[in-house]
Amino acid sequence: MIPALFRIIPVIDQNTSETSFSAEVAPDKLVEDQSSWSQPENLPSLTAPELYINHALSHLQFNLRVLAQSMDEETPLMERLRFLLIFSSNMDEFYEIRVAGLRRQVEMDREIPGRDGMPAHEVLRQIKLQSHEAYARQYAILNDVLLPQLAAEDVRFLQREEWSEEQAAWVRRYFRGEVMPLISPVGLDPAHPFPRLVNKSLNFILSLDGKDAFGRESGLAVIPAPRTIARVVRLPDHLCDKGDNFVLLSEMIAAHAGLLFQGMSVTECHQFRVIRNADVEVNAADVEDIALALRGELHSRRFGAAVKLEISKACPEHLSEFLLERFSLTEAELFRVDGPVNLQRLNSLFDLIERPDLCYPAFTPAIPKALKAETGIFDALRQEDYLLLHPYQSFAPVVDLLRQAAMDANVVAIKQTLYRTGESSELVELLAEAARNGKEVAVVIELRARFDEEENLKLANILQEAGALVMYGVVGHKTHAKAMLIIRREGRRLRQYAHLSTGNYHPRNARVYTDYSLLTANEEVCQDVARVFQQLTGMGKAMRLKQLLHAPFTLHKQLITLIDAEAEAAREGRKAHIILKANGLTEVKVIKALYRASQAGVKVELIIRGMCCLRPGVKGVSENITVISVVGRFLEHSRVFYFQNAEPGIYCSSADLMDRNLFNRVEVCFPILDDKLATRLRREMDAYFTDNYQAWRLQPNGHYSINKPRQGQERRSVQSALLTKLAV
């Protein structure tokens, strides 16, 4: 059953409609350990460590909010499983990048405390405690809740002891024919040292009894599972009573490991995997060709330093100690799990069954009428701007704009940035086609988009072979801006059209990430976009832009100016209001500016999906600041900045409110100049603060509480409301 530690019970405050966690132990066990924090008696300096939340622990809290979705009984069952698997994927990346970085600080004796004052070794200690509890919760949810409920819906994962004779025979044949020929078992002895195992790969550690044909009896062996074989295998329907029945590859290998060691006895067989440091480091200043250097580094990512070991719960101590020694890890990095060691590989299940009744209802993203035409998008954009909110509104007009540009004889040039686009991207094919059609195509591809580097290298080759001019951004700064510029000859003049977005040019992500797209022919905006591309592809001093805010040059400074202007308006007795929506808020000067605005009386509302280092509700400092995080069907990804007394007063941005975005990346923040669109966008931001279903509110002590309806109050989900309003 689920450990009492994680038995979440909503407690509803009838006055505020906010819900806190109650459990059989203190709720701070579920989130960042803030037990040492207390409301300062005296007004602290804005640099005081107690005013800041540790960013790594805040990141971990977001992952826990994702995991909590798997327990929401109002969410369809397969979607609850999906949230459980997303948590697994998120935690892998958390260890590969954040934990790996903290460990490196400790190992090099270079611990650099953040604004919260917490040294790396203390952060690692808290991560260890919370992560072990979180993994225990994850597998308890899987084994005690989701798998039984799936079985009740005739979706089953059959264990070895559940196989009928016919099923066992089929599995054995499948193993002999499809799996066994690809396995290379490694008996450990001086001639067969412990193998170099790939990051996150499925492996087995075995104890053997007996001697082999050469007289060897080391007693230990390792089986690396073939990475090319599906981890979830469907049993033939005629072998099962009903429903969808599956066997895991790990069960197959464990059941038949003896076939790989003829004449010997397998006394122990346990699955394991190692998580490694996956951060790719390329000193761009020291290489002549960043693409060539990155290709070399990508291979080493698979074999970085180990940071975490997962092993089956039943594995005996002598085998786990053996593995820890081989990976130079300690008990603190050992996780014993009660189930498959790589849960995210269960994602293949969603392609193997058709159970729409267990998933979110399907919907059709809407397309504005003027943008539906096969041709004529340029005519529509000359009339007015269009603001699309994906996934409620379709990404198709963006693709159609590029398609029309690639085919239109009057289009002479196309410029585009690509950060993440996805495998076999139609956008890349259209850019290549445009180049083959004789248009000037310039593409800035960010090769260092984490975990998409290899894919981006392939896309770069496709475009170069088609004749496009491909560049890799700016040395020392990731190109994170999302922009497309189309130059079209119309009569005696060249006219420009632009697309700007808060999200990537990734059609698949546009179906699950919330992002804003602006399609415009506004001359000043398009001229600014052209200047940004000129800086990306050429060299020269920073150019003055009329409408866009541009990192690393003007965005951070202008954000501080806009925040301070709201504070001044409040001091003068005027109404002042700030809404900031982003994926993360960690940059200290922005946080300080927001504290000053709160002290001046500005109403500050923040929608921060993930990391938030600002501590709201501190008397005398941030009591006018509200922070919420919405976790639901769609990944909240859009960045929106609203300032009541500014003109223009509302912006969309590719940048989060984090140091890396504001100082170390090329980002574009664009104003919404059309009054009608600006009013709509503001209303959509306001709707987030009416959510009493999937909005989590950050408390002064660093805990998050989930909003719930008061008695008799209607449930309100901002994502459901937007889906109803905007989609078909």
Question: pLDDT tens digits for 417-429?
Answer: 988 776 558 899 9
Whether 369-542 shares its CATH topology with 550-689 is answered yes
CATH topology of domain 550-689: Endonuclease; Chain A (3.30.870)
What is the reported pLDDT for 210? Answer: 73
CA nearest 251: which of 325, 181, 163? 163
- d(CA 503, CA 214) in angstroms, rounded, equals 59
Identify the CATH assignment for 369-542 out of 3.30.413.10, 3.60.20.30, 3.30.870.10, 3.30.365.10. Answer: 3.30.870.10
Residue/partner pairs of 660-665 with CB below 8 Å, 24 or more apart:
660/478, 661/480, 661/551, 662/551, 662/552, 662/555, 662/556, 662/559, 662/587, 662/590, 663/551, 663/552, 663/556, 664/476, 664/477, 664/478, 664/552, 665/477, 665/478, 665/479, 665/480, 665/551, 665/552
Residue with tokens 């104003």: 671
Q: Check if the beta carbon of residue 358 is closer than 8 Å to that of residue 77.
A: yes
Amino acid found at 24 = E
What is the reported pLDDT for 34? Answer: 45
3-state secondary structure of 218: coil
- d(CA 575, CA 566) in angstroms, rounded, equals 9
What is the reported pLDDT for 32? Answer: 40
CA nearest 202: which of 285, 312, 105? 312
What is the reported pLDDT for 623? Answer: 95
CA nearest 187: which of 275, 263, 299, 250? 263
What is the reported pLDDT for 514? Answer: 97
Residue 614 tokens, joined: 């600002």
3-state secondary structure of 544: coil
* Sequence spans of domains, the chain: 4-149, 154-354, 369-542, 550-689
Counting as low any pLDDT under 70, the low residues of the chain are: 1-44, 190-191, 211-218, 280-303, 374, 422-424, 448-454, 456
Write out pLDDT tens, residues 510-529. Answer: 999 999 999 999 999 999 99
User: In the CATH hierarchy, which top-level class contains the domain 4-149?
Assistant: mainly alpha
Binding residues for ATP: 90, 513, 609, 637
Catalytic annotation present for 55 = no
What is the reported pLDDT for 592? Answer: 97
User: In the CATH hierarchy, which top-level class contains the domain 154-354?
Assistant: alpha beta
CA nearest 672: which of 387, 393, 395? 387
CA nearest 509: which of 402, 415, 630, 638? 638
- The pTM assigned to this predicted structure is 0.90
Amino acid found at 717 = S
- d(CA 300, CA 34) in angstroms, rounded, equals 37
What is the reported pLDDT for 446? Answer: 79
**Residue 195 neighbours by CB under 8 Å, 6+ apart:** 186, 222, 224
Catalytic residue among 55, 477, 480, 577: 480
Write out pLDDT tens, residues 535-567. Answer: 888 777 778 899 999 999 999 999 999 999 999
